[in-house]
Chain A
Amino acid sequence: MCGIVGLFLKTPELEPQIGRLTSEMLEILTDRGPDSAGFAVYGHQRPDRMKFTLRGGDFATLPALIGGGAEIEIRDDHALLTVAASEEAAVRAILREKSPATKIVGVGDRMELYKGVGRPREVSARFGLPGMSGTHAIGHTRMATESAVTTAGAHPFSTGRDQCLVHNGSLSNHNNVRRNLVREGQTFETANDSEVAAGYLSWRMAQGAPLEEALHGAMADLDGFYTFVVGTASGFGVLRDPVACKPAVMAETDSYVAFGSEFRALTKLPGIDSAHIFEPEPSRVYVWERAA
């Protein structure tokens, strides 16, 4: 099954509440996926700084290892490392050499990404999701089918800077696509089929494709059942496979676009009673972008 939620704000009023709203949406979908949960929140960018969300290793030693004004904020078994914006490659190299137990969960100017095994409510609380603010967020409650119940197998999957993806469904040609992407230089952390979809979109966007075009490419090249919800630094996309086996409901108002695997995930959103509610059509790419 799995449950997916997404919330993309068009105006700033709800930004301080995005974490609370997202955690409520995730909790309602617990019975679609009680194995693990995860979420990405696009917060505000600090000038000339970027964020690494990390898991594993001795977090306290990292600022000294990295230097250059690196800051660390520990959230349960993850940590948010903030460094100078130009340091991505250098930080990756230092982590690889000096702290090999530390895994990079997500990297971005704005995105923070947390995930773990357990019920959605517990996972949200552990990482302090209800207190987070931001412009858009996506989340996932997982019922594992294709791979193991581990933190690494939890969604969202992030394979590019400020990019992440959640997936409900299963892909049938992920091994082939993964082989092709590895040849193109894309790296993967898990054997999970959903990570291949994330990697595919990152590869297309690294070649210069806008999110909308990358999603059209996914429709042509990925085979299987899927509902994808995708986040980028400024965008929010939704795509369903041509058969549309996996459920999806969207609500749009003047202040937000929200996605849920089921309508009940959306019932606590402000103004939902007067929202435009619709089911995204199969094989149709939906993208919303925020003005920079």
Chain B
Amino acid sequence: MTAIGETADLAEISLRELHTTLHALPRDTNRTAWHITNPRGRHSVAVGLDAPLSVVVEGHVGYYAGGMNSQAKITINGNAGPGVAENMMSGEVRVRGNASMAAGATAHGGLLVIEGNAGARCGISMKGVDIVVRGSVGHMSAFMAQEGNLVVCGDAGDALGDSLYEARLFVRGEVKSLGSDCEEKDMGEAERAILAGVLARAGITDLNLADFRLFGSARRLYHFHVDNANAY
């Protein structure tokens, strides 16, 4: 990819210098296009952004890349470590490779797209984010999810949606097992429209909506009831 705008080479400057610059940009800045090179698996690359920037990271990143993002569109041309886009508020984080565990954890908004596979606990405690995984997700994905949409184009591992509060889980492939209080739901027109919208925003147009199944909360664990003790 050709560099557009400004290049920040992490082989030359420190992560702290990069973030000091990015965090100081006003929301109406004209310096919107950034190209970050040589991330070399560093943690916390491009975190806490709060302006409508376009940031392309060339290479693999460590923990928490794109965490707490607001407004920015961050593209990682590589793999991401644990907790990518953790607690994102808005904007978009796109991982062109695979993501490790806890992708999109506790994220409140925005769009997280993982073009490869995601590891365990993808979307753990998600609170409104839309997450689209082109490949498969690991075990306990959407654990205690509260709001938003998790779209899995491949398979889901064990205990999908364990202790789910709300959130819609769309899965196209196999689901190894469902977690406590997660059940399959009928997909109506409203849910199909939501799925179509999320896939379109992720740029995925080659899949058939009818191939997806919908899972959600059975709402049996909302309130403590002693008969549920074995299910907690």
A267 with B41: CB separation less than 8 A: yes
CB of A26, distance to nearest CB on chain B (Å): 15
Chain B residue at smallest Cβ distance from A240: B120
Q: How far is the CA of A147 from the CA of B111 in the complex (A)?
A: 43
Q: How far is the CA of A242 from the CA of B43 in the complex (A)?
A: 25
B62 with A244: CB separation less than 8 A: no
With A244-B119, A247-B81, A282-B139 already in contact, the answer to whether A262 and B62 are too (CB < 8 A) is yes
Q: Out of B79, B97, B100, B138, which one reaches A247, CB within 8 Å?
A: B100
The answer, yes or no, to whether A165 is at the interface (CB within 8 Å) is no
B138 with A262: CB separation less than 8 A: no
B41 with A247: CB separation less than 8 A: no
A247 with B82: CB separation less than 8 A: yes
The answer, yes or no, to whether B98 is at the interface (CB within 8 Å) is yes
Q: Is the interface of A mostly helix, strand, loop or mixed?
A: loop
Q: How far is the CA of A277 from the CA of B139 in the complex (A)?
A: 20
Residues of chain B contacted by A243 (CB below 8 angstroms): 120
Residues of chain B contacted by A263 (CB below 8 angstroms): 41, 60-62, 79, 81
Residues of chain A contacted by B100 (CB below 8 angstroms): 247, 249, 279
Number of interface residues of B (CB under 8 A): 19
Q: How far is the CA of A279 from the CA of B95 in the complex (A)?
A: 15
Q: How far is the CA of A264 from the CA of B59 in the complex (A)?
A: 11
Q: How far is the CA of A78 from the CA of B101 in the complex (A)?
A: 39
A264 with B79: CB separation less than 8 A: no
With A263-B60, A277-B60 already in contact, the answer to whether A244 and B40 are too (CB < 8 A) is no
CB of B227, distance to nearest CB on chain A (Å): 27
Residues of chain A contacted by B41 (CB below 8 angstroms): 262-267
Q: How far is the CA of A282 from the CA of B139 in the complex (A)?
A: 9
A278 with B98: CB separation less than 8 A: yes
Q: How far is the CA of A281 from the CA of B136 in the complex (A)?
A: 12
Which chain B residues in 117-141 approach chain A with CB under 8 Å? 119-120, 138-139
Chain A residue at smallest Cβ distance from B79: A277
Residues of chain B contacted by A264 (CB below 8 angstroms): 40-43, 62
Per-residue B-contact encoding for A253-270, CB less than 8 Å = 1, 0 else: 000000000111111000
Residues of chain A contacted by B63 (CB below 8 angstroms): 262
CB of A266, distance to nearest CB on chain B (Å): 7
CB of B106, distance to nearest CB on chain A (Å): 17
Q: Out of A242, A265, A279, which one reaches B119, CB within 8 Å?
A: A279
Residues of chain A contacted by B120 (CB below 8 angstroms): 243-244, 282
Q: Out of B81, B97, B119, B139, which one reaches A262, CB within 8 Å?
A: B81
With A244-B138, A282-B138, A282-B139 already in contact, the answer to whether A267 and B98 are too (CB < 8 A) is no
Q: How far is the CA of A85 from the CA of B174 in the complex (A)?
A: 54
Q: How far is the CA of A263 from the CA of B42 in the complex (A)?
A: 8
Q: How far is the CA of A279 from the CA of B119 in the complex (A)?
A: 8
A267 with B40: CB separation less than 8 A: yes
CB of A190, distance to nearest CB on chain B (Å): 30
CB of B82, distance to nearest CB on chain A (Å): 6
Q: How far is the CA of A243 from the CA of B121 in the complex (A)?
A: 10
Residues of chain B contacted by A249 (CB below 8 angstroms): 79, 81, 100
Residues of chain A contacted by B40 (CB below 8 angstroms): 264, 267
Per-residue B-contact encoding for A275-291, CB less than 8 Å = 1, 0 else: 00111011000000000
Which chain A residues in 140-181 approach chain B with CB under 8 Å? none
Chain A residue at smallest Cβ distance from B100: A279
Residues of chain B contacted by A247 (CB below 8 angstroms): 81-82, 100-101
Q: How far is the CA of A247 from the CA of B101 in the complex (A)?
A: 8
B98 with A279: CB separation less than 8 A: yes
Residues of chain B contacted by A279 (CB below 8 angstroms): 98, 100, 119
Which chain B residues in 73-124 approach chain A with CB under 8 Å? 79, 81-82, 97-98, 100-101, 119-120
CB of B115, distance to nearest CB on chain A (Å): 14
Chain A residue at smallest Cβ distance from B80: A263
Which chain A residues in 238-253 approach chain B with CB under 8 Å? 242-244, 247, 249
Q: Out of B60, B61, B98, B101, which one reaches A244, CB within 8 Å?
A: B101
Question: Chain B residues in contact with chain A, CB under 8 A?
Answer: 40-43, 60-63, 79, 81-82, 97-98, 100-101, 119-120, 138-139
4 tightest CB-CB pairs across the interface, nearest first?
A264-B41, A263-B41, A267-B40, A263-B60
Listed A/B pairs (18) with beta-carbon separation below 8 Å: A242-B139, A243-B120, A244-B119, A244-B138, A247-B100, A249-B100, A262-B41, A262-B63, A263-B79, A264-B41, A264-B42, A267-B40, A267-B41, A279-B100, A279-B119, A281-B138, A282-B138, A282-B139
Q: A244-B139, A263-B60 are in contact. List 9 more A-B contacts (CB 8 A).
A: A247-B81, A249-B100, A263-B62, A264-B42, A265-B41, A266-B41, A279-B98, A281-B138, A282-B138
